């Protein structure tokens, strides 16, 4: 069963990575990053079961805390960019490009 | 057996929802799909002897994080859909190739690893009197420093969000007195004429008629009227469409007489913004 869970986790992680590469709405890109974090958590929980110790679950818990903090800051930045550029597309935030 | 069935049902659901998250055009659908993935992962945690994580997943992710996402989506505008123009040549193809290659690499690598039978965390948790007491003991003994640092992180995040989302007021707030003074010192102390007054029709887009039969440009919203004319939403009755056109032209003429450049049509404006952006 461990392999099944890990394959599911790998699939979800790659779908998230694909979304980050493909989508250009900053909020959707952010959701894909969350999907990748969730996939990692699934792998952590699976390995906790595989090794018979609770450390994996503990790490997953800390990942959730960090993800929550990251979401708060990231969304605040997106709102700020939207206020100045009137757009949530990652293509429009290009003032540092040249 | 029960775990296997649960796994296969939820695996299919979560992968399908993840694909929906990536490929749905509307951002709100993406958010709902992400919520579905998170809920199925919560059930998978519960199946894998992690009841605490399952609860935290539902409370933190589907509760707080998803609500925050939806909140920002509504704030930013639900219809802020992706543009379909590729800004980097061949980006979509190479991104898809990279994603598929990455998936194949991960799945083959993981699939080839050989694992013995998983003992599960049941025994480790049982020794400490259950999953939650065992986790609590680890958090407050071996990992207590990381736990304390977490609180610093959360406080910094809350403070950062407040600083980032705060907007400094650059001018003092207008009081009721200021508003009244501005209104009576301005060109029109009375309310603007309502749309459709003395006209055939009282819809919001129909200009009011003045006593001499001409249209009153002040009675309709110029932005609305221009939008209707440009996008072709004018009434089917040619007479009414003509009235809207007259009101718009009259308003722009009045602005020109006052020396104000009337606002450009939307397409022209977009073109200007594009040129600035290049």
Q: With cut-offs at 50, 70 and 90, classify the pLDDT of residue B150.
A: very high
pLDDT on residue B278: 39
| Statement: residue A32 has pLDDT above 90 | yes
Radius of gyration of chain A (CA): 17
Contact (Cβ atoms closer than 8 angstroms) between residue A74 and residue A88: no
**Of B11 and B274, the one with more pLDDT:** B11
Contact (Cβ atoms closer than 8 angstroms) between residue A47 and residue A59: no
| Statement: residue B180 has pLDDT above 70 | yes
Q: What is the pTM of this model?
A: 0.74
Q: Which residues contact B166 (CB under 8 A, 6 or more apart)?
A: none
The owner of tokens 């407050």 is B140
Is the Cβ pair B87, A76 closer than 8 Å? no
pLDDT on residue B199: 59
Instruction: Calculate ∠ Cα A87-A93-A96, nearest 5°.
Output: 160
Contacts of A11 in chain B (CB under 8 A): 15, 18, 103, 106-107
Give the Cα separation of B186 and B192 in Å (integer).
Answer: 12
Q: Which of B93-97, B153-157, B197-201 has the highest mean pLDDT?
A: B153-157
The owner of tokens 């519960």 is B46
Structure tokens at B110: 């993981």
Q: Which of B270, B205, B207, B275 is nearest to B234 (CA)?
A: B205
Structure tokens at A88: 């949530």
Q: Which of B276, B273, B220 is nearest to B248 (CA)?
A: B220
pLDDT on residue B140: 92
Q: Which residues pair with B106 in a beta bridge?
A: none
What number is the ipTM of this complex?
A: 0.92
Across the A/B interface, how many CB contacts are shorter than 8 Å?
239
Give the Cα separation of B18 and A13 in Å (integer).
Answer: 9
Give the Cα separation of B218 and B241 in Å (integer).
Answer: 17
pLDDT on residue B265: 53
Contacts of A10 in chain B (CB under 8 A): 103, 106-107, 110
Give the Cα separation of A11 and B18 in Å (integer).
Answer: 9
Name the 3-class secondary structure at A12: helix
| Statement: residue B273 has pLDDT above 70 | no
Give the Cα separation of B245 and B26 in Å (integer).
Answer: 34
Contact (Cβ atoms closer than 8 angstroms) between residue B240 and residue B200: yes
What is the dihedral sign for C-alpha B110, B116, B117, B121?
negative
Q: Which of A11, A54, A82 sits opposite B107 (nearest CB)?
A: A11
* Share above pLDDT 90 across residues of chain B, in percent, rounded to a whole number: 26
What distance in Å separates residue A13's CA from the closest CA in chain B?
8
Task: Locate the chain B residue with the closest alpha carbon to A65.
Answer: B150
Q: What pLDDT digit, counting tens, does each position of B82-130 carry?
A: 666 667 778 888 888 999 999 999 889 888 887 777 777 777 777 778 8
**Of B123 and A77, the one with more pLDDT:** A77
In chain B, which among 89-128 make CB contacts under 8 A with chain A? 91-92, 95-96, 98-100, 102-103, 106-107, 110-111, 113, 115, 118-121, 123-125
| Statement: residue B270 has pLDDT above 60 | no
**Of B262 and A24, the one with more pLDDT:** A24
| Statement: residue B200 has pLDDT above 80 | no
CB contact A24 to B (< 8 Å): yes
Helix (H) or strand (E) holding B112: helix B91-112
Residues B150-166: b if buried by 16+ CB within 10 A, e if exposed: beebeeebeeebeebee
Is the Cβ pair A14, B158 closer than 8 Å? no
Q: Which of B80, B2, B76, B83 is nearest to B43 (CA)?
A: B2
Q: Which of B49, B57, B42, B53 is nearest to B126 (CA)?
A: B49
């Amino acid at each position: 069963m461990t392999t099944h869970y890990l394959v599911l986790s790998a699939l979800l992680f790659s779908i998230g990575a694909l979304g980050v590469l493909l989508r250009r709405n900053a909020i959707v890109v952010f959701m894909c990053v969350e999907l990748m974090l969730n996939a990692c958590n699934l792998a952590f929980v699976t390995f906790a079961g595989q090794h018979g110790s609770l450390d994996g679950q503990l790490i997953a818990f800390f990942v959730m805390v960090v993800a929550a903090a990251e979401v708060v800051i990231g969304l605040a930045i997106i709102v700020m960019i939207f206020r100045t550029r009137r757009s949530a597309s990652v293509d429009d935030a290009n003032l540092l490009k040249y | 057996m029960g775990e296997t069935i649960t796994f296969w049902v939820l695996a299919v659901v979560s992968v399908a929802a993840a694909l929906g998250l990536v490929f749905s055009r509307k951002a709100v659908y993406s958010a709902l799909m992400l919520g579905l993935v998170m809920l199925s992962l919560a059930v998978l945690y519960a199946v894998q002897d992690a009841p605490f994580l399952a609860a935290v997943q539902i409370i933190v992710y589907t509760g707080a994080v998803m609500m925050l996402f939806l909140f920002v989506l509504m704030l930013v505008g639900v219809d802020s859909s992706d543009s379909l123009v590729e800004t980097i040549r061949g980006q979509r193809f190479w991104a898809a190739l990279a994603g598929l290659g990455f998936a194949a690499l991960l799945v083959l690598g993981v699939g080839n690893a050989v694992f013995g039978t998983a003992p599960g965390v049941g025994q480790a948790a049982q020794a400490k009197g259950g999953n939650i007491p065992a986790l609590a003991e680890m958090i407050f003994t071996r990992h207590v420093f990381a736990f304390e640092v977490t609180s610093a992180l959360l406080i910094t995040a809350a403070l950062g969000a407040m600083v980032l989302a705060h907007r400094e007021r650059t001018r003092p707030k207008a009081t009721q007195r200021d508003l009244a003074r501005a209104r009576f010192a301005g060109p029109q102390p009375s309310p603007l004429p309502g749309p459709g007054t003395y006209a055939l029709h009282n819809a919001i887009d129909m200009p009011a008629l003045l006593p001499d039969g001409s249209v009153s440009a002040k009675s309709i919203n110029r932005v609305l009227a221009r939008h209707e004319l440009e996008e072709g939403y004018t009434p089917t009755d040619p007479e009414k469409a003509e009235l809207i056109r007259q009101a718009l032209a009259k308003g722009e003429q009045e602005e020109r007489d006052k020396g104000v450049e009337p606002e450009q049509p939307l397409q022209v404006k977009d073109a200007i913004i594009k040129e600035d952006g290049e």
